[in-house]
C-alpha cells in the first residue's frame, strides 16, 4: 500500500527542463531509503505551469514544489518525505504578494482556472489506459453507443459546443451536415496540426490525455456513422505521437478500438498521419489534401468536408480540444457542459499564456472570463512592474486588444467584434516595451512565409504588407504607407480564399485601429516610441554619469565610441549601428548609455553643417 | 438538355443549365465577369479571386466555383468588390514583368484584358514595394519557353497537364511569394516528363508560356494534320510562302481543340531547304535536275514498255484520297495490272 | 484489315474517337496510344479520369501503363492466346452476352469448341501473364459495358496478325460490344490517310470502297466508267512486289511517298530488289534513302500545298486545303500521274482539280456516294454515306454486319507461334515501336526540334538482360538477326521485359528493318516486324 503519490510532470516543457532526470534521481533516492514500496511515482501529462517546471507534487497533502532539479531530490526525500520539513526554497512564491503558497490549488495560476478539457492532464499517467478509465474514461462512448447517431448529434448540439480550432463553428451542426450527407463511407479527422508559434494546447492534450481525443473521435464516428478516423499531427510532436500510438494500442487491446466495440457492433479504427510542418495544413481542406498525399493547399468551400471531405467522402474534421470536450458532454450531459460559459460560447477554452506576464503556461478558463482576469490574476500581472500594453489573442492571425478592452469577456463573438479572434488559443501579453508596428511585422513575417501561394491576395498581399512594415520599422516608411497598408489589409481580408489569408491582416488591422499613433510616429517622425526599432534609435552617453571605464569602447564593434580613461566617452552618430552593445556593456549601476528615439531627419531637414557633412546632430 | 435555372445578374434575368457556374452562365449570356484562373476546358479552382461577386444573402464569393441556383440575385460590381478586385490586380501587376511591347502575347493577354476592365491605380502601384523580377527564362525546350517573370500562377498549365494531357509533369512548388510552377526537382522543363504537346502553351493567358519562335501569320487556312491517323483539324498559318504556325481548331470533332507535339510544332518540314524542287533524272549514274517535260516524256516512254504485271505501284498513305484514286486508276486502267499496294500494313 | 472484313464485313474503326472517353472499359492492346496516337491517348486518359477501367496489354511497358488498372505484359506474339484465354474465362463464367450472341452472331458453338485449347495454365505459359490477371482482365472487359478495344500495329504486324484481329472481334462479339456507342473494335491507323488509300483501292485486290477486282459486277462497273478492259487477277501485295522484283518478275516500279529502305521488313532484301529493277520512279517531297536509288525522281507538293481530302482512322473524310504554293516546281501527285497518263495517250485523266477527281470517286464508290466537297466545307463526314441527305455513320454495325448473313462471325482459332523463333544464337526477341516525336521515317526528321526531343535511337533492354550481357546504359551494341545487323546505343529500361528488346524505325542511322522478318501473315500479307529473334553484344 502506497502512502504517498508523487506526480512529476512529464510534458515536453518539464522534460526539457529536466523532469526525466528528476525521475531517475527520485527512484534512486527512494531505493536508498527503502521507500520504493511506500511512494509511487507518476509521470503525468502537462500541468500547464511550464514556466515553473519541472513540477513535483506530493499527494495526499498536495504540496507543490516547482523548478525541481535532480540535485534537489535527495533533499526533498530526506527533509520532506522522511522528516516532514518543507523545503521552502522549492515552494511557489506569489509574484505579486511574494508570499509562499504550499498547495497547488491555492496558487492564483490554478485557482481561477476551470480544467474540463484538461481534466486528466497532469493527473493521470497518459500511458496507462486504466487511469483514464478510472477517471470515467470511455463512459461517454458507452453512452453514445446506446444512442442513435441523431441523438448523439442532438446532445452535442444542445451542449452549445463550438469548434476550438479557430472559427468557432457549432460542432453539432457540423456533425448534423455530415450525418445527413449521403454515402456509406465517412471519416472522422482530428486536426492536431497545431501551428501557431507559441501554442501548445493540442500538444499538451495529446501528451497528457490521448484517450480523451480517441474517445472523442469514436463518439463522433458513432454520431455520423463513420468507421475510420485519422489524426493529422505535426511530426514535430514526437512525444504526442508516441503517446497516441501507445493509447491506440492499449485501446485496441481493451476492445475499445477495432471491431464490435464494447459489444455494440460499432467498428472504428484510427490512423495517425504525420504532417510535415506547413502551417496552412491546419486549414481543413489543405489538411485533407495532405492526408490524401497531395500538395497541402486549401480548396474552395463549399463543398464543405462534411459533404465532400477525405477522398471525397463526407468527413467531420474537428480540433483536438473540441474532441477532448466531447466525452465529457456524453458522460455528464449537455446541460452540465452548457452551464459553464456565456450565452453564445459554452464551456471552457484552453490558452497558451505567454509574453510579459509573471506566470506563463497552459491555462483553461471558462468562456466569458475577462482578459484582465487572465492577465492579472492567472498571469500574475506584468513582469518587472511594467505597464500592460496589449493582449495579442488568436495566434499570428489574431488581433491586439488594447488596455481599454481589458474587461472584454473572452468568447468567440466579443473577440471577433474587437478585431481579434479566439483562434486556437494563443494569448501573448505585451508590455510598454513592445513596438506594435514591429509586432505586426513579426506576425506578418510568419503568415507571409506560410501562405500556400495559390491566391493572389494572400500570396502577394501579405508579402507586400510585410515589405511595407519592414520599411516602416527601418525608417523607410512613406507618408502614404499607413493608408496603403489599410487598403491592402482590407483587400487581403476580403479577397483571400481561405482562413489564413482572410485573417492574416488582423495584426495589421488591429494595431492600426488601436495604435495608429505608433505607425504615425514611425512614418512621419521616424521615431519608435517603444524604443524597439533599431534603425530609429539613437544611443548617447550621458557625460554626467559616464565614469570613463572604456567598457563600451571595447564592446563597440564599429569603433564608434571615443574617449580617454576616466573621461566621459562620446558616440559618433555617423558610425553607430544601433547594435546596443554599449548599452549592454555599461555597468547597470552607472547606466550612462541612454537610448532615445528622437526621429531621423528627412533628406530636406538635414542641414548641411559647416564641415559640409549631413550629420544628424 | 438538363434543367434550366433562372437567375438575375446585375439586374438582367438569365437562364442557365443546372450545374453551370455563375461565371460560365454570365459569359454564355454575354455578361462579362472578369476572371483569370478559370478556363472552359478545365476544372474550376477559384484561386485567382478575380471573379468575386456578391450574392444576395451571402458573403462575397468567387463566381467560378458557385453553381447557379433558382432565383439567385448576383451583383458583379460594387464599391467593395471593385476595390478588392482592383488591389488584387495591382498586386498581380506589381509581380509581373510588364514588357508588353516585346511580349508574344501582347494584345492576346488576359492580364491586359483584366487591367482594361478593372482599371488600376498607378499611384498605388508606385507606392508599393516592387520585387526584383529576375527569374532566368527557361528556353530548354526547342518549341516553347517559360518566363516565370510573367507567370500569374493561375494554374491553367498545371490543370491542362493533369486533365488534358494526363502527364502531370508540372505543379505548384514552394510557398508564399516563392511559389512558382516547376517540375520535379526544379529542373529545366526539358528534364521533366513533358511531352511537348503544347496544350499548356496554347492556354497560358499571359506571356509565361510562349512558342520559341512566335511569328504572326499573314493568313490561316483550316486543314488536316499530315501525321498520324487521328486526323486532327488544324489552322495552319503562313507568311511569305512559309508555314509559320499551327493551332488546333477549337471545335474539332476529332481532337476537341487539342494537338500533340507533331501537329503543333512539327510542320516545318514543309519549309525545309532539302525539299525536292525539280524533277531529277539519272544520267551517267547521277541524279541531275531536269524539266517536267523531259521527265514526263521519259517516264511515259519507259512505262509503255512495261504494261501488265511486270509493272507495280507503291502508293502512299500520306497522299490524298484524290492522289490515291488517280494512282490506282492509272495502274489499273493504263498499266493494266492490279499490282498496287501501300504501307497500310506497316 | 482482312480480319475484320471477314467477321464484320468492314475493315475500319467501328466507332468514333470522341466516344472513347465515354467507354466504361478500354482494352488497349498492341498500341502505345499516347505516343503513336496522342489525341486518342487524351481520350483514353479522359475516360480513366471519368472512372473507366483501362487494360493495357503490350510486351513493352508503354507510357499508357501509368494510367492502367491492369497491365498485362505479354510475350511478343502471344496475343491470340491471351485473347482467346480471356474469351474462355468469359464463357466459362457466363459473362458473355447470350442474347446478343443469339441475335447477332453465328458460329458460336464451333467457336466455343475451339476455346478448349486455351486453358488458363496454357495461356499463362504462352503469354507470361499470371493466371489471375487473365481472369481479372476477362471480368473487367466483360463486366464494364460499353467496352472499347483499341489496337494498332502491335496486333497486325505478325505472321498471325489476322488471327489476332479475329480474336479481338470474337471478344467484342461475345460481349455484345459491337454496334454500341463507345464500344467496338478499333484499329488505330498509323498514317494520316491509310484509311483513304485503302478506301481508294490502293490495294491489289479491291477497287474503291472495297469493291473486289475479282467480282465480275464490280469490274464491269469500273470498265464502264473508265472505258477500258481491266485485269481480273488480284495483284501483288507490298512485300510480294519486292519479292517479285527480286525475281525479276516485276521490272518497273512507281513508288510514291514511301521509304522502304527504312520501313520495309528485311530491308536488305528489298534494297537488293530495288537495285534489280529496270526502271524505278520515285515521287516524294524529299530525296530520301529510297529516292536516291531511283532512275527518275519527281518533286511532289506537300499536304500544305494542295487541295484534297484525308480520311482519318474513324472513317471521317475531311478536307485538306492548300495553304501555300508548292515549293519550286513541285506538283500535286494527282497532277503528275495525270500528266503521265495523258502523255501515254490515256483517256479519263483530264482533271483540272482535286474536286473533279472527288466527283468521280463519289460516282463509283457507294460508301462515298453522298459526300461532296460542298458538304465537306461544313466539316468531315464519316462513311458509309450513301446519299447526299445521309449524315454519315459514326458507329458501324448498329443493326447488322456487312457479311452475307448480316451476322457477325465468331471464328474458332488456335495458337500459332511466331515464325522467327529464338534459339541459342539469337536468344532475344526484338520488337519495334514508335516515338512520340517522330513519324515513320521521313517528314519529322526535317522538322527542327523534334530530333532534339526524341533524343535519337536506342535499343531498349531490360536491366536483367543488360546485366547478364554486361551492357551498360549508353553502350554501343551490335544487334544481329538472321537477316542483318546494325549498331546502336543501348538504353537500359524496365520498359522492356526480360528477353525482349525494342527499337523504333524512324532513323536512317539505325535501319531497324535490316533485322526484321518478312514472314507474312497468310491472309493479310502483313510482315512480322513485331517479332524477330536477335542477339546483342557490345560493339
Q: What are the pLDDT digits (tens) for B73-130?
A: 999 999 999 999 999 999 999 999 988 998 999 989 999 999 999 999 999 999 999 9
3-state DSSP call for residue A444?
A: helix
Question: pLDDT tens across C222-234, in order?
Answer: 999 998 888 899 9
Q: How far apart are CA A363 and CA A594, in angstroms?
A: 38
Contacts of A471 in chain B (CB under 8 A): 129
Q: Give the E-state strand segments of C321-375 in sequence order.
A: none
CATH 3.30.70.20 given to domain A538-596: yes
By C-alpha distance, which of A289, A346, A305, A325 is closest to A177?
A305
Task: List the beta bridge partners of residue A393.
Answer: A399, A427
> Residues A508-557: pLDDT tens digits?
999 999 999 999 999 999 999 999 999 999 999 999 999 999 999 999 99
C183 and C209 both lie in a single domain: no
- Among the partner-chain residues C34, C202, C334, the one whose CB lies closest to the CB of B341 is C202
Query: Between C192, C204, C332, which is nearest B341 by CB?
Result: C204
pLDDT at position C419 is 67
A173 to chain B, any CB pair closer than 8 A? The answer is no
Interchain contact, B343 vs C188, CB within 8 Å: no
User: What is the SS3 string spanning A114-172?
Assistant: CCCCCCCCCCCCCCCHHHHHHCCCCHHHHHHHHCCHHHHHHHHHHHCCECCCCCCCEHH
Residue at C396 is within a domain: no
* pLDDT tens for each residue of A474-503: 999 999 999 999 999 999 999 999 989 999
Tell me the shortest Cα–Cα distance from B315 to chain A, in angstroms.
52
- Cross-chain residue pair B319–C193, CB shorter than 8 Å: yes
* Check whether domain A129-338 has CATH 3.60.20.10, yes or no: no
* C337 and C249 together in one domain: yes
CB contact under 8 A, C235 and B337: yes
Smallest CA-to-CA distance from C396 within C218, C195, C139 is with C195
Together in a domain, C343 and C249: yes
List alpha helices for chain B, DSSP H.
22-28, 79-94, 110-118, 122-127, 156-160, 199-203, 261-265, 292-303, 321-329
Residue A454 forms contact with B (CB below 8 Å): yes
* Contacts of residue A615, Cβ cutoff 8 Å, sequence gap at least 6: A573, A574, A609
Task: Kindly report the length of chain A.
Answer: 617
> Do A457 and B60 count as a contact with CB atoms less than 8 A apart?
no
What does the pLDDT read at residue B151?
A: 95
Average pLDDT across chain B, whole number: 92
- What chain C residue is nearest to B223 in terms of C-alpha separation? C320
- ipTM value > 0.90: no
Instruction: Name chain A contacts of B132, Cβ cutoff 8 Å.
Output: none
C/A Cβ contact: 3+ pairs below 8 Å = no
Q: What percent of chain B has pLDDT over 70?
A: 99
Confidence band of C440 (pLDDT split at 50, 70, 90): low
Do C229 and C365 share a structural domain?
yes
Nearest Cβ partner for B87 among A453, A459, A491: A491
- Please indicate whether, in this complex, the C-beta atoms of B49 and A497 are within 8 angstroms of each other: yes
Confidence check: pLDDT of A378 > 70: yes
**In the predicted structure, residue C76 carries a pLDDT above the cut 70:** yes
> Higher pLDDT residue, C404 or C283?
C283
Domain A436-525 has CATH 1.20.1440.230: yes
pLDDT tens for each residue of B263-297: 888 888 889 898 999 999 999 889 999 999 999 99
pLDDT higher than threshold 60 for residue C397: yes
Given this structure, which CATH class describes domain A348-431?
Answer: alpha beta
Three cell numbers, residue C43:
481520350
As its CATH architecture, domain B215-275 has: Single Sheet (2.20)
Chain B contact for A167 (CB, 8 A cutoff): no
Structure confidence at residue A608 (pLDDT): 46
Helix (H, G, I), strand (E, B) or coil at B170: coil
pLDDT of C436 over the 80 cut: no
Considering only CA atoms, which of B295, B286, B303 is closest in space to residue C298? B295
Per-residue pLDDT at A402: 94
Report yes or no on C255 lying in a domain.
yes
**Which of B195, B280, B308 is facing C296, going by the closest CB pair?**
B280
Domain total in chain C: 3
Task: Give the pLDDT score at C14.
Answer: 87
Q: Would you state the pLDDT for residue A551?
A: 93
- What whole-number percentage of chain C has pLDDT above 90? 29
C253 and C130 in a common domain? no
Segments of chain B assigned to CATH 2.20.25.90: 215-275
Subunit contact B177:A487, Cβ cutoff 8 A: no
CB C179 within 8 A of CB C53: no
Q: How many CB atoms lie within 10 A of CB A12?
A: 20
DSSP C169: H
What is the reported pLDDT for A1? Answer: 73
Question: How far is CA A48 from each of CA A12, A534, C486, rounded to the nearest angstrom?
Answer: 11, 35, 78
Residues whose CB falls within 8 Å of the CB of residue A120, separated by 6 or more in sequence, listed in order: A45, A126, A131, A132, A135, A137, A208, A209, A212
The three three-digit cell numbers of residue C83, written as one number: 485473347
Q: Is B48 an 8 Å CB contact of chain A?
A: yes
Q: What is the pLDDT of residue C190?
A: 78
Cβ contact (<8 Å) for A450 and B175? yes
Inspect the interface and report whether the beta carbons of B329 and C258 lie closer than 8 Å: no
Q: B330 to chain C: which residues are within 8 Å by CB?
A: 337, 340-341, 346, 349
Per-residue pLDDT, C501: 85
Domain definitions of chain A by residue range:
4-105, 129-338, 348-431, 436-525, 538-596
Interface mutation target, options B49, B115, B124, B179, chain A, most CBs of A under 10 Å:
B49
Residue B346 in this model has a pLDDT that exceeds 70: no
CA distance A230 to A287: 11
Q: Which residue of B has its CA nearest to C187?
A: B229
Q: Chain B: nearest CA to A301, how far in angstroms?
A: 8
Residues of chain B with CATH 3.10.20.740: 4-127
For residue C8, pLDDT over 80 is answered with no
Please report, for residues A434, C27, C149, C169, the alpha-carbon distance to residue C179 in angstroms, rounded to integers and kept in the order given.
Answer: 79, 17, 13, 12
- The answer to whether residue C217 scores a pLDDT higher than 50 is yes
How far does B102 lie from chain A, in Å, by closest CA?
A: 25
Q: Is the pLDDT of residue A155 over 90?
A: yes
Q: Distance between CA B46 and CA B61 in Å, rounded?
A: 9
Query: Do C160 and C203 fall within a single domain?
Result: no
Closest residue to A451, CB basis, from B48, B65, B175: B175
Closest CA to C198 of C183, C184, C187: C187
**Cell numbers placing B20:** 453551370
C246 touches B: beta carbon within 8 Å? no
Query: Could you tell me the residue range of the domain that residue C229 belongs to?
Result: 194-382
The answer to whether the CB of C521 falls within 8 A of the CB of C489 is no
- Residue pLDDT, tens place only, A180-223: 999 999 999 999 999 888 888 999 999 999 999 999 999 999 99
pLDDT band at B338 (very low <50, low <70, confident <90, very high): very high
pLDDT digits (tens, 9 = 90+) for A59-70: 888 899 999 999
Architecture of domain B4-127: Roll (3.10)
Distance CA C261, CA C286 (A): 14
C166 pLDDT exceeds 90? no
> What does the pLDDT look like over C451-476, one tens digit per residue?
677 777 888 888 888 888 888 888 88
Whether B163 contacts chain C with CB within 8 A: yes
Cα separation of C406 and A595, whole Å? 103
| Average pLDDT value for residue range C479-485 | 81
Chain-chain contact of A491 with B45 (C-beta, under 8 angstroms): no
pLDDT, average across residues B331-336: 91
Provide the grid cell at C49: 479520369
pLDDT for position A606: 46
Same domain for C199 and C172, yes or no, is no
At residue A264, the pLDDT reads 93
In the predicted model, what is the mean pLDDT of chain A?
A: 91
Determine, for residues B232 and C153 on separate chains, whether the beta-carbon distance falls below 8 Å: no
Greater model confidence, A442 or C155: A442
Query: Which uninterrupted H or E stretch holds A380?
Result: none
* A83: Cα within 13 Å, side-chain hemisphere: 9
Identify the pLDDT of residue C60. Answer: 84
> Cβ separation of B127 and A464 shorter than 8 Å?
no
Cβ of B176 under 8 Å from any chain A Cβ? yes
Find chains touching chain B: ≥3 CB pairs under 8 Å.
A, C
For cell 502551417, the residue is A279
Alpha-carbon gap, residue C302 to C202, rounded angstroms? 19
User: What's residue A123's pLDDT?
Assistant: 87
**Least confident range of A218-232, B15-29, B142-156, C109-123:** C109-123
Average pLDDT over residues C6-24: 79
Looking at the partner chain, which of A450, A471, A496 has a beta carbon nearest the beta carbon of B176?
A450
Cβ neighbour number for residue A199 with a 10 Å cutoff: 24
Supply the pLDDT for residue A409.
94
- Band (pLDDT 50/70/90 cuts) for residue C511 is low
Please name the residue of chain C whose CA is at the shortest distance from the CA of residue B144.
C449
- pLDDT value of position A396: 86
Q: What pLDDT does C524 receive? A: 59
One domain for residues C259 and C349: yes
User: Has residue C275 got a pLDDT over 60?
Assistant: yes
> Judged by CB atoms within 8 Å, which residues 231-270 of A form the interface with B?
none
Residues C51 and C90 in one domain: yes
CA distance C430 to C163: 21
Find the helix or strand (DSSP H, E) in which C246 lies.
helix C238-246
Q: Which chains touch C (3 or more CB pairs under 8 A)?
A: B
Asked if residues A55 and A63 have their Cβ atoms less than 8 Å apart, the reply is no
C-beta pairs of B95-98 under 8 Å, 24+ apart in sequence: B95/A460, B95/B131, B95/B133, B96/B133, B96/B149, B96/B150, B96/B152, B96/B206, B97/B133, B97/B147, B97/B149, B97/B150
Name the pLDDT band for B173 (thresholds 50, 70, 90): very high
Q: Class of the A4-105 domain?
A: alpha beta
Amino acid at each position: 500500500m502506497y502512502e504517498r503519490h508523487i506526480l512529476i510532470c512529464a510534458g515536453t516543457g518539464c522534460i526539457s527542463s529536466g523532469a526525466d532526470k528528476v525521475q531517475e534521481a527520485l527512484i534512486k533516492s527512494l531505493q536508498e531509503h527503502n521507500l520504493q514500496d511506500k511512494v509511487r511515482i507518476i509521470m503525468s501529462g502537462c500541468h500547464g505551469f511550464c514556466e515553473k517546471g519541472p513540477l513535483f507534487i506530493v499527494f495526499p497533502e498536495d504540496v507543490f514544489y516547482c523548478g525541481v532539479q535532480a540535485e534537489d531530490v535527495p533533499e526533498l526525500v530526506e527533509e520532506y518525505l522522511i522528516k516532514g520539513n518543507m523545503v521552502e526554497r522549492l515552494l511557489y512564491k506569489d509574484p505579486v504578494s511574494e508570499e509562499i503558497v504550499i498547495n497547488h490549488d491555492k496558487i492564483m495560476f490554478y485557482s481561477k482556472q476551470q480544467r474540463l478539457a484538461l481534466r486528466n492532464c497532469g493527473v493521470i499517467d497518459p500511458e496507462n489506459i486504466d487511469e483514464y478509465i478510472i477517471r470515467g474514461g470511455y463512459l461517454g462512448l458507452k453512452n453514445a453507443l446506446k444512442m442513435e447517431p441523431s441523438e448523439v448529434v442532438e446532445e452535442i448540439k444542445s451542449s452549445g459546443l463550438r469548434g476550438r480550432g479557430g472559427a468557432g463553428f457549432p460542432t453539432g451542426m457540423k456533425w448534423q451536415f455530415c450525418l445527413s450527407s449521403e454515402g456509406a463511407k465517412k471519416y472522422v479527422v482530428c486536426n492536431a496540426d497545431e501551428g501557431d508559434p507559441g501554442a501548445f494546447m493540442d500538444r499538451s492534450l495529446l501528451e497528457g490525455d490521448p484517450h480523451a481525443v480517441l474517445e472523442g473521435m469514436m463518439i463522433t464516428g458513432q454520431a455520423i456513422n463513420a468507421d475510420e478516423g485519422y489524426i493529422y499531427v505535426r511530426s514535430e510532436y514526437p512525444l504526442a505521437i508516441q503517446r497516441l500510438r501507445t493509447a491506440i494500442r492499449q485501446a485496441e487491446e481493451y476492445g475499445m478500438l477495432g471491431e464490435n466495440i464494447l459489444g455494440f457492433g460499432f467498428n472504428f479504427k484510427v490512423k495517425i498521419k504525420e504532417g510535415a510542418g506547413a502551417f496552412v495544413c491546419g486549414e481543413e481542406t489543405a489538411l485533407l489534401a495532405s492526408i490524401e498525399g497531395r500538395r497541402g493547399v486549401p480548396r474552395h468551400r463549399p463543398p464543405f468536408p462534411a459533404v465532400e471531405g477525405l477522398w471525397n467522402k463526407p468527413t467531420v474534421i474537428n480540433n483536438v480540444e473540441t474532441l477532448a470536450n466531447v466525452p465529457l458532454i456524453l458522460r455528464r450531459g449537455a446541460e452540465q457542459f452548457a452551464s459553464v460559459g456565456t450565452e453564445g460560447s459554452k464551456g471552457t477554452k484552453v490558452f497558451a499564456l505567454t509574453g510579459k506576464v509573471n506566470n506563463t503556461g497552459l491555462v483553461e478558463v471558462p468562456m466569458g472570463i475577462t482578459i484582465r482576469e487572465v492577465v492579472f490574476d492567472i498571469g500574475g500581472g506584468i513582469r518587472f512592474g511594467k505597464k500592460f500594453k496589449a493582449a495579442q489573442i488568436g495566434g499570428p492571425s489574431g488581433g491586439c486588444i488594447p488596455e481599454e478592452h481589458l474587461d472584454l469577456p473572452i468568447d468567440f463573438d466579443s473577440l471577433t467584434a474587437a478585431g481579434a479572434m479566439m483562434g486556437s488559443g494563443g494569448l501573448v501579453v505585451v508590455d510598454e516595451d513592445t513596438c506594435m508596428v514591429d509586432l505586426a511585422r513579426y506576425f506578418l513575417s510568419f503568415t507571409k512565409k506560410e501562405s500556400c501561394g495559390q491566391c493572389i491576395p494572400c500570396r502577394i498581399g501579405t508579402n507586400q504588407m510585410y515589405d511595407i512594415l519592414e520599411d516602416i520599422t527601418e525608417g523607410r516608411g512613406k507618408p502614404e504607407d499607413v493608408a496603403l497598408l489599410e487598403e491592402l489589409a482590407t483587400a487581403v481580408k476580403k479577397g483571400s480564399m481561405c482562413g489564413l489569408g482572410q485573417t492574416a491582416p488582423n495584426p495589421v488591422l488591429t494595431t492600426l485601429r488601436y495604435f495608429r499613433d505608433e505607425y504615425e510616429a514611425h512614418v512621419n517622425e521616424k521615431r519608435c516610441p517603444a524604443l524597439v526599432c533599431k534603425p530609429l534609435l539613437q544611443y548617447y552617453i550621458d557625460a554626467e554619469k559616464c565614469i570613463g571605464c572604456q567598457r563600451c569602447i571595447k564592446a563597440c564593434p564599429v569603433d564608434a565610441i571615443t574617449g580617454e580613461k576616466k573621461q566621459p566617452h562620446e558616440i559618433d552618430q555617423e558610425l553607430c549601428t544601433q547594435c546596443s552593445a554599449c548599452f549592454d556593456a555599461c555597468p547597470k549601476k552607472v547606466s550612462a548609455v541612454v537610448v532615445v528615439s528622437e526621429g531621423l531627419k528627412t533628406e530636406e531637414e538635414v542641414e548641411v553643417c559647416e564641415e559640409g557633412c549631413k550629420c544628424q546632430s | 438538355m438538363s434543367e434550366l435555372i433562372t437567375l438575375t445578374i446585375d439586374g438582367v434575368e438569365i437562364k442557365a443549365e443546372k450545374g453551370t457556374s455563375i461565371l460560365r452562365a454570365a459569359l454564355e449570356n454575354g455578361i462579362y465577369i472578369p476572371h483569370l484562373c478559370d478556363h472552359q476546358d478545365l476544372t474550376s479552382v477559384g484561386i485567382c479571386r478575380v471573379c468575386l461577386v456578391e450574392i444576395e444573402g451571402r458573403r462575397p464569393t468567387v463566381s467560378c466555383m458557385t453553381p447557379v441556383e433558382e432565383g439567385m440575385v448576383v451583383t458583379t460590381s460594387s464599391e467593395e468588390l471593385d476595390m478588392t478586385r482592383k488591389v488584387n490586380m495591382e498586386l498581380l501587376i506589381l509581380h509581373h514583368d510588364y514588357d508588353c511591347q516585346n511580349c508574344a502575347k501582347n494584345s492576346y493577354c488576359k492580364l491586359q484584358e483584366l487591367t482594361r476592365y478593372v482599371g488600376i491605380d498607378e499611384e498605388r502601384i508606385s507606392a508599393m514595394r516592387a520585387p526584383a523580377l529576375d527569374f532566368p527564362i527557361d528556353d530548354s525546350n526547342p518549341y516553347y519557353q517559360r518566363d516565370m517573370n510573367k507567370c500569374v500562377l493561375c494554374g491553367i498549365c498545371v490543370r491542362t497537364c493533369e486533365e488534358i494531357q494526363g502527364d502531370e509533369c508540372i505543379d505548384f512548388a514552394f510557398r508564399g511569394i516563392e511559389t512558382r510552377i516547376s517540375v520535379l526537382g526544379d529542373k529545366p522543363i526539358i528534364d521533366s516528363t513533358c511531352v511537348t504537346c503544347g496544350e499548356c502553351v496554347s492556354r497560358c493567358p499571359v506571356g509565361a508560356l510562349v512558342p520559341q519562335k512566335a511569328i504572326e501569320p499573314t493568313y490561316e487556312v483550316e486543314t488536316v494534320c499530315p501525321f498520324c491517323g487521328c486526323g486532327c483539324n488544324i489552322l495552319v498559318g503562313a507568311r511569305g510562302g512559309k508555314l509559320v504556325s499551327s493551332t488546333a481548331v477549337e471545335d474539332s470533332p476529332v481532337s476537341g481543340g487539342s494537338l500533340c507535339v507533331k501537329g503543333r510544332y512539327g510542320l516545318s518540314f514543309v519549309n525545309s531547304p532539302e525539299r525536292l524542287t525539280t524533277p531529277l533524272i539519272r544520267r551517267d549514274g547521277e541524279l541531275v535536275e531536269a524539266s517536267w517535260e523531259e521527265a514526263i516524256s521519259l517516264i511515259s516512254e519507259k512505262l509503255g514498255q512495261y504494261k501488265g504485271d511486270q509493272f507495280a505501284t507503291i502508293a502512299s498513305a500520306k497522299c490524298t484520297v484524290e492522289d490515291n484514286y488517280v494512282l490506282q486508276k492509272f495502274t489499273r486502267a493504263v498499266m493494266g495490272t492490279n499490282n498496287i499496294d501501300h504501307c497500310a500494313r506497316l | 484489315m482482312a480480319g475484320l472484313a471477314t467477321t464484320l464485313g468492314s475493315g475500319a474503326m467501328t466507332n468514333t474517337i470522341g466516344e472513347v472517353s465515354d467507354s466504361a472499359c478500354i482494352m488497349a492492346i498492341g498500341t502505345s496510344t499516347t505516343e503513336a496516337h496522342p489525341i486518342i491517348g487524351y481520350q483514353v486518359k479522359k475516360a480513366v479520369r471519368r472512372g473507366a477501367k483501362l487494360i493495357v496489354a503490350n510486351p513493352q511497358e508503354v507510357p499508357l501503363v501509368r494510367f492502367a488498372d491492369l497491365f498485362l505484359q505479354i510475350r511478343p506474339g502471344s496475343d491470340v492466346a491471351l485473347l482467346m484465354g480471356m474469351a474462355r474465362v468469359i464463357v466459362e463464367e457466363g459473362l458473355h452476352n447470350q442474347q446478343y450472341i443469339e441475335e447477332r452472331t453465328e458460329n458460336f458453338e464451333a467457336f466455343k469448341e475451339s476455346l478448349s485449347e486455351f486453358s488458363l495454365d496454357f495461356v499463362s505459359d504462352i503469354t507470361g501473364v499470371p493466371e489471375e490477371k487473365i481472369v481479372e482482365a476477362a471480368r473487367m472487359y466483360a463486366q464494364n459495358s460499353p467496352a472499347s478495344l483499341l489496337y494498332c500495329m502491335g496486333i497486325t504486324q505478325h505472321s498471325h496478325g489476322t488471327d489476332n484481329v479475329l480474336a479481338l472481334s470474337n471478344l467484342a462479339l461475345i460481349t455484345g460490344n459491337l454496334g454500341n456507342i463507345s464500344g467496338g473494335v478499333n484499329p488505330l491507323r498509323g498514317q494520316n490517310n491509310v484509311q483513304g488509300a485503302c478506301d481508294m483501292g490502293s490495294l491489289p485486290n479491291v477497287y474503291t470502297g472495297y469493291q473486289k477486282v475479282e467480282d465480275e459486277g464490280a469490274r464491269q462497273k469500273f470498265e464502264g466508267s473508265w472505258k477500258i478492259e481491266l485485269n481480273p487477277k488480284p495483284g501483288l501485295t507490298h512485300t510480294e512486289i519486292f519479292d517479285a522484283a527480286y525475281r525479276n518478275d516485276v521490272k518497273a516500279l512507281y513508288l510514291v511517298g514511301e521509304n522502304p529502305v527504312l520501313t520495309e521488313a528485311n530491308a536488305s532484301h528489298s534494297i537488293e530488289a530495288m537495285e534489280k529493277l529496270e526502271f524505278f520512279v520515285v515521287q516524294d517531297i524529299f530525296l530520301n534513302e529510297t529516292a536516291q536509288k531511283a532512275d527518275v525522281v519527281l518533286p511532289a507538293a506537300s499536304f500544305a500545298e494542295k487541295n484534297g481530302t484525308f480520311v482519318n482512322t474513324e472513317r471521317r473524310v475531311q478536307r485538306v486545303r492548300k495553304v501555300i504554293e508548292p515549293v519550286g516546281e513541285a506538283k500535286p501527285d494527282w497532277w503528275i500521274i495525270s500528266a503521265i497518263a495523258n502523255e501515254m495517250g490515256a483517256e479519263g485523266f483530264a482533271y483540272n482539280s482535286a474536286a473533279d477527281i472527288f466527283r468521280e470517286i463519289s460516282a463509283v464508290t457507294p460508301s462515298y456516294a453522298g459526300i461532296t466537297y460542298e458538304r465537306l466545307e461544313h466539316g468531315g463526314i464519316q462513311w458509309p454515306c450513301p446519299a447526299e441527305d445521309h449524315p454519315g455513320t459514326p458507329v458501324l454495325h448498329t443493326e447488322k454486319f456487312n457479311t452475307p448473313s448480316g451476322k457477325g462471325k465468331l471464328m474458332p482459332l488456335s495458337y500459332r507461334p511466331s515464325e522467327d523463333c529464338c534459339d541459342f544464337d539469337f536468344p532475344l526477341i526484338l520488337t519495334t515501336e514508335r516515338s512520340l516525336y517522330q513519324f515513320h521515317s521521313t517528314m519529322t526528321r526535317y522538322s527542327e526540334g523534334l530530333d532534339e526531343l526524341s533524343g535519337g535511337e536506342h535499343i531498349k533492354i531490360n536491366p536483367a538482360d543488360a546485366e547478364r550481357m554486361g551492357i551498360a546504359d549508353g553502350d554501343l551494341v551490335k544487334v544481329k538477326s538472321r537477316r542483318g545487323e546494325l549498331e546502336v546505343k543501348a538504353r537500359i529500361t524496365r520498359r522492356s521485359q526480360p528477353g525482349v528488346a525494342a527499337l523504333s524505325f524512324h532513323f536512317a542511322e539505325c535501319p531497324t528493318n535490316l533485322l526484321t522478318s518478312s514472314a507474312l501473315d497468310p491472309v493479310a500479307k502483313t510482315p512480322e516486324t513485331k517479332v524477330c529473334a536477335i542477339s546483342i553484344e557490345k560493339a
